[in-house]
Amino acid sequence: MIGTKQIVCLAWAVNSLIATSVFAEESDLPIEGYTKEKYKACVSCHQSDPVKEVFLTEHADASNPDTPAAKEQCEACHGPSAAHANFPLQVKNFRFGGNSPNNRIEQNDVCLNCHGGEQSGAWHGGMHDKGELSCADCHTIHEHHDPLLDQTKTAAVCISCHKEKKSAQHIKGMHIIESGKTSCTDCHNPHASLDAKLCVSCHEQDEATIAKQSEKAQEFHATVIEEDLSCLECHRGVAHGVPSWVEDIRKQQNE
């Protein structure tokens, strides 16, 4: 049976532990650096599903030397966290998302440190960079399957911001994305500025194709190619719905 003396000693020990770890003075903090235990130090506290799922993603593939798992693991993105591991309530490590004390430029720089190649190299000055978004506003890094990379779910992520496009996404004859056969990113490069040249990845404009078009269409398309113009010079508004002028033509044809 535990006596009063033992209880007092236990209480003193607990209070001493709290005082020397969680609520330590700033002068008592260790020199900033990486943890020795790496991911094991993190999951000893962070045990929720969103955290654990990261070990099912490509970021956890240690066989790839370019991944966080092959480097400093969690700390490759969240920064040196030895101080945070020892004083979790007093020292915060690098965080992502809207509630992070780290601004979007700092957050994006961490991502672009690895993802700065062909796909994301044009990020700076692109439409979403100008829109002051962070990578974490669209990408869900800790999920096994990032919804943004699933063609059947991409539109739901995009429409959460681009609400004006929702009503026109399923119009017959247009770019039907609700079926999952067409994705927003088939036409839009979210990591760069709007580039209508992506249109020709589906709508071929080689000589054989142009030869089948009307004389007026051939004339227009020849000018577009010669002067390196955008498809949207003429076709603006057709991607997310039926422009009024198309409806007018349809009515005339049905009269």
CA distance 190 to 89: 37
Which pLDDT does position 78 carry in this prediction?
94
Which pLDDT does position 154 carry in this prediction?
85
Q: Residue 121: is its pLDDT beyond 70?
A: no
Count how many residues are written for the chain: 255
DSSP state of 59: G
Read off the pLDDT band of 49 (50, 70, 90): confident
Q: What is the mean pLDDT of residues 239-253?
A: 62
Contacts of 52 (CB under 8 A, 6+ apart): 43
CA distance 169 to 166: 5
More confident residue, 14 or 120: 120
pTM above 0.85, yes or no: no
